[in-house]
């Protein structure tokens, strides 16, 4: 059989071909499908005969498993023998791929590569010399074509570090956004394979891309506690890890395969440090354990976590051993007590910083932010993320609003990703038995799986994935204090506004808006993923700018009126009138009544910013008129129609920052179209042209209703309003400064404001 003639069968499961190739002597192929195991590997056997040249094939980034039968049956195989496959690539470089013991005299290695071509292998041994193993050799063909359904991990390869040392990407450069779930104890039989796969599919549908899982000594348990066992039994037969249990690891293989088939990266923790497992087992045993893990899972798209809640010289040595042993150079980190960089004695032992920031409720959540900011500010640059913080529902604390806050504050601060966790899931809790002592939670894994925070952080990852999130930079100066912002200057901005309390609909402030920029604003609900349009803003290139002006010269100026009491008539509270000012109190409407009163008026006045100021554009009676209004209570400028004693909607509303200086208010009406604008210092704000519901007639004037003790209107000018631009179906708000106060939020909760340049 020529290599080109080898065409394995295709099954419906991922990596669906499982075949056994004998030697070229008998030219026979036997294909079997292992129906009980997710088809993770193409499995081949090498007879070890020096005259045979076994040939194996697999697609790029697909795992090929090679079985070699030795001549020795060993009592303590992991101590007595360390076989390694020396794989030579098409370019002539070599990789030392560790092999794992699979019972009896059988040893296996697993291999994958993103590069098509022909690879050769030979076996070497340290310890006892097994001549049959040493005679084994063969060929592996990595095919460029796709014969099986491709996952993202297959298509793009394992994850690595971006050139800026801040983020993750696949081997081919495709961005990778880390959103992990915490499944520390889910390789045990407490979670059957069926239930494990249920959890996999749930997390896949919600958008998770990583699962942090322990394959070794567990948290809160002895190093060989019986609660570690799965359907195949315990992982090792003794505390020196001299003899592994292939049945245990076969069951673990199925679970790891289920994750990879769902495009979820397994972040494998070799064992838990808190509790002293390294001291109890010893460094030689832990290294044997890690060699076994690398041999079994290193060919897949994994990440290594050297230890959980671990640190110090011993764990640093172990991380370096992993780096030296892994031929595929997967990323390595430490799950620490606080920071991975602080837990190792040599930062070169790890590739990215993982933080444990503490459990609890809002106090712990708020304490996490300075820790991630510190990690992101360290030099040299290294990707950083929270690897454990505030499990949802843990000891009845930290529910979905906390989880949203942790996710968005981390991501908008520059984190490379985020890790979530839920009570019930992390410890594989089952009904009536939390499986852990002391008992933190009686929550079952099914209950924890359904906690809403998991779906909500998943929505966040899905949203970010639609944007060039890896180019986002933190810019909290773009928004109000207490809010968080990141994005691309001149492009997309994300601004997270935490909940401001009950009955508080206030929006946030956008600062540093680029001149000439036109942006679409959207409120995005981080709890449901619903979107609410918040308008379009356009920043005039000239900072001072101006709203529509008078058509010709003003026809009236208060400063030139020698008898203002003759021209201004009160219909509400009595005003004080002079050439210098008209002073109004609450419930004031004062109308300009003169033969030259314009049919389409425009008025300009100066006023104080600590009281309401309004310009009446058309007045019929006290129950029917239209007014352009500045409100210091609402921090807003808008136009209101009062029809039959009822107020309509706030037309063209523009939200304003808190003002502490005198303002200039200008407003005009032409037919059924009106506008209003306000200038304070060098900043100007203007409503768009708005459509009025009625065709109004009557005089114009000035107005004050409720807010403030007194208003002083100065430098009043009246003229003819020019024709105004027709109102747009989706009007944009024109601003004349680099600051804009956003419209009020749709409801009092936390919101993400998305600002997209159009």
What confidence tens digit (pLDDT) does each residue in 420-451 have? 999 999 999 999 888 787 889 999 999 999 99
pLDDT, averaged across the chain: 89
Query: What is the distance between the alpha carbons of residues 112 and 40, in angstroms, rounded to a whole number?
Result: 12
**What is the arrangement of strands in the sheet containing 265-269, beginning at the earlier edge strand?**
332-335, 303-308, 265-269, 210-214, 178-182, 417-419, 384-389, 353-358
pLDDT digits (tens, 9 = 90+) for 151-197: 788 889 999 999 999 999 999 999 999 999 999 999 999 999 999 99
Task: Write the burial class of residue 324 (CB in 10 Å: 0-12 exposed, 13-18 middle, 19+ buried).
Answer: exposed
pLDDT digits (tens, 9 = 90+) for 197-232: 999 999 999 999 999 999 999 999 888 889 999 999
- For residues 542-562, average pLDDT: 79
- pTM, full prediction: 0.78
- Residue 279 above 90 pLDDT? yes
Q: How far is CA 195 from the centre of its chain?
A: 27
Report CA-CA distances (Å) from 503 to 506, 559, 635.
Answer: 9, 44, 16
- Residue 37 above 80 pLDDT? no
- For residues 340-359, average pLDDT: 97
- Residue 3 above 80 pLDDT? no
What whole-number percentage of the chain has pLDDT above 70?
91
The segment(s) of the chain belonging to CATH 2.60.120.560 are 556-737
**Residue 149: band (very low, low, confident or very high) from pLDDT cuts 50, 70, 90:** low
User: CATH assignment of 178-470, given 3.30.420.280, 3.40.50.300, 3.20.20.80, 2.130.10.10?
Assistant: 3.20.20.80
H helical segments located in 95-245: 131-134, 152-156, 193-206
- Residue 12 above 60 pLDDT? no
Fold of 3-143: Immunoglobulin-like (2.60.40)
Q: What 3-state DSSP class applies to 575?
A: coil
Q: Using an 8 Å Cβ cutoff, are 319 and 344 in contact?
A: yes
- Residue 664 above 60 pLDDT? yes
Give the model's pLDDT for residue 147.
59
Residue with token string 């993750």: 168
Tokens of 134: 């040493």
> Omega of the bond prior to 273 within 30 degrees of 0, cis?
no
Q: Which one is predicted more confidently, 435 or 263?
A: 263
- Residue 484 above 70 pLDDT? yes
Considering only CA atoms, which of 76, 71, 81, 129 is closest in space to residue 105?
71
- Residue 35 above 50 pLDDT? no
Give the model's pLDDT for residue 5.
30
- With both helix axes pointing from N to C terminus, report the angle between 313-325 and 283-297 in degrees, rounded to the nearest 10: 30
Give the model's pLDDT for residue 31.
27
Query: What is the distance between the alpha carbons of residues 134 and 125, in angstroms, rounded to a whole number?
Result: 7
Give the model's pLDDT for residue 160.
98
Report CA-CA distances (Å) from 409 to 75, 367, 404, 547.
Answer: 54, 12, 8, 38
- Residue 641 above 60 pLDDT? yes
**Residue 145: band (very low, low, confident or very high) from pLDDT cuts 50, 70, 90:** low
Give the model's pLDDT for residue 525.
98
Query: What is the distance between the alpha carbons of residues 41 and 20, in angstroms, rounded to a whole number?
Result: 11
- For residues 323-336, average pLDDT: 98
- Residue 668 above 60 pLDDT? yes
DSSP assignment letter at 393 = T
310 dihedral zone (left: phi>0; alpha: psi -120 to 50; beta):
beta
**284: phi then psi, degrees, rounded to nearest 5:** -60, -40
Distance from first CA to last CA of the chain, Å, rounded? 61
- Residue 2 above 90 pLDDT? no
- Residue 90 above 80 pLDDT? yes
Give the model's pLDDT for residue 646.
92
What whole-number percentage of the chain has pLDDT above 90?
76
Give the model's pLDDT for residue 10.
26
Give the model's pLDDT for residue 516.
87
The segment(s) of the chain belonging to CATH 3.20.20.80 are 178-470
Fold of 556-737: Jelly Rolls (2.60.120)
**381: phi then psi, degrees, rounded to nearest 5:** -60, 145
The segment(s) of the chain belonging to CATH 2.60.40.10 are 3-143
pLDDT digits (tens, 9 = 90+) for 726-744: 887 777 887 767 888 888 8
Give the model's pLDDT for residue 82.
95
pLDDT digits (tens, 9 = 90+) for 296-321: 999 999 999 999 999 999 999 999 99
Angle at 329 between CA 202 and CA 298, to 5 degrees: 50
Q: Which one is predicted more confidently, 27 or 419?
A: 419
pLDDT digits (tens, 9 = 90+) for 380-404: 999 999 999 999 999 999 999 999 9
Residue with token string 């209950």: 447
């Amino acid at each position: 059989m020529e290599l080109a003639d080898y065409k394995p069968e295709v099954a419906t499961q991922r990596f669906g071909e499982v075949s056994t190739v004998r030697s070229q002597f008998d030219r026979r192929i036997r294909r079997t499908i292992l129906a009980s195991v997710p088809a993770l590997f193409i499995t081949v056997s090498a007879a070890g005969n020096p005259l045979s040249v076994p040939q194996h094939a697999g697609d790029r980034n697909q795992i090929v498993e090679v079985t070699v039968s030795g001549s020795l049956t060993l009592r303590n195989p992991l101590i007595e023998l360390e076989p390694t496959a020396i794989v030579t690539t098409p370019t002539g470089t070599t990789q030392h791929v560790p092999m794992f013991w699979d019972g009896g005299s059988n040893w296996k290695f697993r291999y994958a590569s993103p590069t098509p071509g022909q690879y050769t292998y030979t076996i070497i041994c340290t310890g006892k010399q097994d001549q049959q193993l040493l005679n084994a050799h063969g060929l592996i063909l990595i095919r460029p074509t796709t014969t099986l359904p491709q996952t993202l991990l297959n298509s793009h390869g394992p994850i690595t570090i971006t050139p800026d040392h801040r983020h993750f990407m696949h081997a081919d450069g495709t961005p990778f956004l880390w959103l992990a779930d915490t499944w520390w104890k889910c390789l045990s039989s407490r979670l059957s394979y069926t239930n494990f796969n249920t959890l996999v599919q749930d997390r896949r549908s919600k958008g998770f891309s990583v699962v942090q899982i322990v394959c070794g000594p567990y948290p809160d348990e002895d190093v060989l506690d019986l609660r570690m066992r799965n359907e195949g039994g315990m992982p090792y037969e003794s505390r020196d890890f001299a003899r592994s249990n292939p049945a245990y690891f076969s069951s673990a293989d199925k679970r790891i395969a289920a994750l990879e088939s769902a495009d979820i990266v397994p972040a494998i923790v070799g064992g838990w440090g808190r509790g002293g497992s390294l001291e109890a087992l010893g460094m030689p045993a832990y290294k044997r354990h890690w060699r076994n893990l690398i041999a079994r899972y290193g060919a897949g798209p994994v990440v290594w976590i050297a230890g959980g809640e671990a640190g110090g010289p011993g764990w640093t040595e172990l991380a370096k051993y992993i780096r030296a042993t892994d031929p595929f150079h997967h990323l390595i980190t430490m799950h620490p007590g606080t920071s991975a960089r602080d837990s190792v004695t040599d930062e070169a032992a790890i590739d990215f910083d993982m933080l444990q920031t503490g459990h609890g409720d809002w106090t712990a959540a708020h304490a996490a932010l300075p820790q991630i900011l510190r990690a992101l500010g360290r030099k040299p640059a290294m990707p950083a993320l929270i690897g454990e913080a505030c499990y949802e529902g843990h000891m009845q604390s930290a529910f979905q609003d906390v989880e949203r806050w942790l996710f968005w504050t981390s991501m908008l601060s520059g984190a490379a990703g985020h890790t979530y966790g839920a009570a019930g899931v992390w410890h594989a809790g089952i009904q009536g038995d939390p499986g852990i002592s002391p008992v933190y939670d009686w929550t079952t894994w099914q209950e924890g799986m359904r906690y809403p925070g998991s779906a909500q952080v998943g929505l966040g990852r899905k949203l970010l994935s639609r944007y060039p999130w890896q180019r986002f930079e933190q810019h909290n100066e773009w928004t109000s204090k207490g809010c968080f912002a990141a994005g691309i200057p001149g492009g997309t901005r994300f601004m997270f506004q935490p909940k401001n309390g009950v009955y508080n609909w206030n929006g946030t402030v956008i600062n540093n808006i680029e001149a000439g920029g036109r942006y679409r604003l959207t409120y995005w609900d981080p709890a449901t993923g619903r979107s609410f349009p918040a308008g379009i803003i356009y920043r005039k290139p000239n900072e001072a700018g101006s709203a529509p002006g008078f058509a010709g010269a003003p026809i009236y100026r208060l400063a030139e009126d020698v008898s203002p009491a003759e021209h201004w008539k009160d219909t509400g509270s009595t005003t004080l009138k002079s050439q210098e000012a008209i002073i109004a109190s609450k419930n004031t409407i004062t109308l300009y009544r003169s033969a030259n009163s314009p049919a389409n008026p425009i008025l300009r006045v100066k006023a104080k910013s600590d009281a309401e100021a309004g310009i009446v554009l058309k007045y019929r009676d006290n129950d029917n008129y239209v007014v352009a209004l500045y409100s210091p209570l609402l921090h807003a400028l808008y136009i209101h129609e009062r029809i039959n004693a009822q107020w309509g909607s706030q037309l063209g509303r523009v939200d304003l920052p808190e003002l502490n200086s005198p303002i200039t208010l200008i407003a005009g009406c032409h037919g059924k179209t009106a506008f209003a604008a306000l200038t304070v210092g060098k900043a100007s704000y203007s409503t768009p042209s708005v459509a009025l519901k009625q065709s109004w007639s009557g005089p114009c004037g000035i107005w004050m209703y409720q807010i403030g003790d007194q208003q002083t209107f100065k430098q009043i000018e009246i003229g003819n309003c020019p024709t105004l631009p027709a109102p747009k179906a989706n009007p944009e708000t024109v601003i004349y400064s680099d600051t804009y106060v956003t419209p009020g939020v749709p409801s009092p909760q936390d919101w993400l404001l998305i600002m997209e340049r159009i």
